[in-house]
Structure formats: C-alpha cells, structure tokens
Structure 1
Amino acid sequence: MKRKLLSGMVLFMLSAPVMAQQSFSTPAQATDALTKAISEQNESAMTDLLGENWRDFLPPEGVDPDAVDRFLRDWNVRHTTVVEGDKAHLVVGDNGWQLPIPVIKTSAGWQFDIKEGAEEILTREIGRNELAAIEALHAYVDAQQSYFAMNQKYAQKIVSSKGKKDGLYWPASPGEAPSPLGPAFSPKEPGTGYHGYRFRILPDNHGFAMVAWPVSYGQTGVMSFVINQDDKVYQSDLGSDSEQKARALAAYSPDKNWQPVAP
C-alpha cells in the first residue's frame, strides 16, 4: 500500500456512525490542516479532522514511517487542491498522487468525507491485488520453466513435500541455489493468501496451468485469472462463488466468459 498511514486512517466500515468533524471555509484549508496534523503527528487534530474512530482503522502492522515521509516529501515538491463542484481532492508530487479521502462541501463548510474515502481505498486495494495476482501468475510460468530445465517434467504442486524437491518451492540450505518459486505462495498465516488471492495448479495434458481467485470476493479482489505455458493471462468475474467455481475447474480451458488481459 503506497500510503499505509493515509489509507489506514479511512478504512472505516461504510456503516460507521457519522462523527462530528471540523469544517473549513475552503477545501485547501482542510487539506493543509490534514497535512499539518500528519507532519506533527497530532492525534488530537486528526480526530477533529477525521472523526473519533480513525485510530481503529490503522493497518494491523501499524503506521509506516516511510509512507508518511514520502507523502510529506511529495507535498513539499508540489501540492494542489483540485475542486470540482462540491467536491475537492488533494494531489501531491510530480506523479500526481491523489489522496483517496475527498473534501466535500456541506452546510457547515468543507470537511473530509470518510465514507467515500473508504470506498476509494477499497477500489485501489482491489486493483493492486489484481495486478499482484497477474504478476504472480507470470512468475509461476517462469518457475515451471526453471523446474522443467532441472527435472524434464513440470511440477504438480506449489510447495514441495517435506525434505523433497517435488514442488516449485522448497527451503534452500545455506549455499544451495534457491527453489524456482519463492515462499510467498504459501503464506505463514492460513487463509490470508498472497496479496488477497489464492492459487491452484490446474491439470493440463499439454503443459501446465494455474488459476487464481480472490480470498474474499469484492473485498480483496473481483476478477479471477488463469494462465498456462503460453504465458497469457485470461480473466473472468466469477461472482460471489468465485472460490467454489475456481476450485471446481478440472482443466485449463477458458471459454468465452474468460477475456484476455492486456500485456
């Protein structure tokens, strides 16, 4: 997550109660106040700006100081508050990164819209997870090719059996070459997946294939993906039954419901 602090502050449930928030005469005053609160680590000011519950929604791993530093550096390089009607967004840095929390005009003045911010945070997180899943599938193809070069056959499992090298990943001993695939596909915490996705090798008589689907549909991802030895990714929205449908796939055979992902 590019801005863990800023994202965490607004990961409120959409049903969270509306809290009294500070209002301003202009949206620029609001964004200036937020930046000042972040730079000074002023929790009281953050509460005034975002509501009383913002601490409850910081990332589980805590505030990332590097993310805060990047935001403040980008702010100092360039910042502007872009106003479109009754809504405004803070944009910082040469790359034009936009704060996901909009400032809206209310009867009391301009204030941050936590509800819409939470929706935008979720949208961005899903997009990042889907891109990570696509990259992981391409890494799987590379790993299978490396495994074949060593064994003249393709691996039928991701993680090797204990003490064996019958999968794409195995713990390497000191001085030993690493396995074709890293340990990320086998998370330490069961059920967490990799960047919000789970992966399964599909039977394929002509080579190898894999399917990836979101751990939690609509929360960690939307699209499911498949790939084979041709290194072309196809995607499909399998809906709320994504896991059931992905696990039910007996072979790699994308039909008209699967669309190619642009390289």
Structure 2
Amino acid sequence: MTAAMPNARYFRRLLWACMVALLANVTLASAQELFKSPAEAAAALVAAARASNQSQLYAILGVEGRQIISSGDPVADAGDRQRFITAYDAKNAIKETGNTATLLVGQDEFPFPIPIIRSNGQWKFDAEAGRKEILFRRIGRNELDAIQASLAFFDAQYEYAAKDHGQGAGTYAQRIISRPGAKDGLYWPTAPGEEQSPLGELAAEAAADGYKASETRRPFHGYYYKILKKQGSGAVGGAADYVVGGRMIGGFALLAYPAEYGRSGVMSFIINHAGTVYQKDLGFGTNRTASRMRTFNPDSTWEKVSVAKDQ
C-alpha cells in the first residue's frame, strides 16, 4: 500500500467510517440524551469527541449504537475520530427536513451517517438508522486494506529471500516483526541512511497512521495477520511443509482475519507464494477458527479475489 493525500472519494469513505471511533470503549448509559435542537445535539457530539469523553459519547448516541461501539482497532478508531473533528472544524452545517436533521461536515458538506430526529418535541441521534451504512463503509475499507497488506506481504517475502539474513538466501521469514537485534522477520528498525527492511515502507505508512511495530498481537486497519508454515491438499502441489530443517524454504503463506467479526471485517483472506488471494466468511467463530489455523488450504469453500495492487 502506498501513502497518498486522500482524494474526495477516499475522504468521503473516511468520513462515513469516522463516527465509529466516537464510540470506542464506552460504558453503558441508562438513557439517551435529548436536545432542544439539532444544532445543540451536534455541538454536544463534537465536544464529547474532542474531549475523548467516551461515556458522554455513548449517552449522546444511545444504546442503539452498541453494535458499532468499536471496530476492534483503537488506532484506526482514533484516526477516524480526528478526521471527523478536522472536517467539522473546516466547515459544518445542519440540514433540516421535517422531523429529521443531518449534520454536514467538511468543505464538500459530507453528510454524517447518523441522522438527528425529533422525538416528542426534542432531538436525538438515531444510531440505528445509520448502523448498516457505517458498518458497510468500515468493513469495505478494512477488507480492501487487508487484501493490499496481504499483497505487500507477498512482495516482502520474495525481497527477504533474495538476500542472506542469517539462514542463507532463499529462506523466507517465519515472522512479520523481527526479534530485537535480529533480522528474522519482514520488518526490523533501521537507522537513517540504512536500507529499509522488506516491510519498512509499509511500517512507515502505518506509523504515520499511529501504529507502532510490536511483537504483541495488535490489529492493523481492523485485521490480524498470521504466517502459515505449511499447505494442505487444496493448494497447488498438494500438502507440504514449508519449513525444512528449521528454514522456511518450501514457500510461505499468510492469513488475515478481522479483529472483530462483523465490526471491523467479515471476510478472512489467505495468500501463499503463488500470489493468489483467497477469501472466505468464517462466520461468528472467526477468531477461534483463525487461532487454530496452521495450514494454507484453499479448498472449494474459498473464493479467489480479483484485485489490483495499489500503485
């Protein structure tokens, strides 16, 4: 993936998704807050977001926002929240139509996906009305990012194997993040002027988004990533171990799966050294299934993904 200034289309997608971050890690409130006007409701939402007052945000958006409280990726949520605030500060307006009002943000006046509705003479946010659109936008964004990250992994493995990093050329990395002081993964820190690690460019882009390289399992754009070290009968060439004598020389594979099924993503993705990305909906047991998965095995239940790499 490559970093770029967001165009209007990309910015629209971010704004639709940004409200997700407003709801992260909150405690339940007994009743949703009501307001005298749509403008008062919008001002309260922005003030709570600006102060990162999570409990107040939940009180403003209500219990119906529970299903979209968090994407499972706090870094992405924080970034979305900041983009929302920046857009609001650039320009904002309220558009009223009967008993419904819409908050417009940014120079292009993008509509905030959760409408403000009149109820018994007072106004409140209708989180349920915006839930499907919010999840659709967030999930679509994260799934596309997961596919591109999988393709970046594919390129990085071949770049890694082209040089000797301690086990001889032709050896693929068995880790994504190298252990301290080692080059046994696709990423390791480098000093200014030094050649970047195979995933150095992606890591730099991730750092710009607020992510930090860590051996601790953390989601990246709503997805977890796991290296698979063997393949099953459903793969070209049949069942085989990629690791021989401690060296991964027979190939490589990767699994990408959503941090929160139905919130940060739906599809899981796999790719191996052949370069084809496959997808499958692993259902509500995605986390459990993924944690047990050790083998790249694209049988008939997996579907090929047709996608071009980011340029």
What is the TM-score of this pair, normalised by structure 2? 0.61
Partner of 2:216: 190
Partner of 1:180: 198
Greater Cα offset, 168-177 or 92-101? 92-101
> 1:68 Cα deviation (Å)?
2.1
Partner of 1:254: 298
Partner of 1:53: 59
Which of 284, 287, 291 is the aligned partner of 1:240?
A: 284
Q: Equivalents in 1 of 2:19, 2:301: separation in Å?
A: 37
Checking the alignment, whether the CA contact within 8 Å between 1:82 and 1:88 is kept in structure 2 is yes
* Structure 1 runs (4+) greater than 6 angstroms displaced: 12-15, 55-60
Checking the alignment, whether the CA contact within 8 Å between 2:140 and 2:265 is kept in structure 1 is yes
Post-superposition Cα deviations, 1:188-216, rounded to whole Å, max 9, x if no partner, equal 48343222322111225563221111223
Q: Equivalents in 1 of 2:57, 2:160: separation in Å?
A: 53
Partner of 2:86: 69
> 1:82 Cα deviation (Å)?
8.1
Root-mean-square deviation (Å)? 4.3
Matches for 1:88-99 after TM superposition, within 5 Å: 89-92=102-105, 97-99=110-112
Give the count of matched residue pairs: 247
Which of 11, 17, 21 is the aligned partner of 2:30?
A: 17
The answer to whether the aligner puts 1:199 opposite 2:225 as a matched pair is yes
Checking the alignment, whether the CA contact within 8 Å between 1:130 and 1:223 is kept in structure 2 is yes
Distance change in 2, residues 1:121/1:191 (3 Å) = farther
Post-superposition Cα deviations, 1:223-262, rounded to whole Å, max 9, x if no partner, equal 2111123433221111222133223334322122222334
What residue ranges of structure 2 are gaps of 5+ in the alignment? 1-12, 63-68, 164-168, 232-241, 243-249
Q: Equivalents in 2 of 1:147, 1:12: separation in Å?
A: 38
Checking the alignment, whether the CA contact within 8 Å between 2:21 and 2:81 is kept in structure 1 is no
Distance change in 2, residues 1:174/1:235 (3 Å) = same
> Which structure has the higher relative contact order (CA within 8 Å, separation 6+)?
2
> 1:168 Cα deviation (Å)?
1.0
Checking the alignment, whether the CA contact within 8 Å between 1:10 and 1:101 is kept in structure 2 is no
Post-superposition Cα deviations, 1:137-183, rounded to whole Å, max 9, x if no partner, equal 11101211211222333222222344332221122244321110145
Post-superposition Cα deviations, 1:3-51, rounded to whole Å, max 9, x if no partner, equal 5975444559797433341255xxxxx2x55556678x599xxx9xx88
The answer to whether the aligner puts 1:157 opposite 2:163 as a matched pair is no
What residue ranges of structure 1 are gaps of 5+ in the alignment? 25-29
Partner of 1:167: 185
Give the secondary structure class of the aligned counterpart of 2:296: coil
What is the TM-score of this pair, normalised by structure 1? 0.70
Give the secondary structure class of the aligned counterpart of 1:158: strand
The answer to whether the aligner puts 1:144 opposite 2:157 as a matched pair is yes
Checking the alignment, whether the CA contact within 8 Å between 2:28 and 2:58 is kept in structure 1 is no
Q: Equivalents in 2 of 1:20, 1:188: separation in Å?
A: 39
The percentage of aligned residue pairs carrying the same residue is: 36
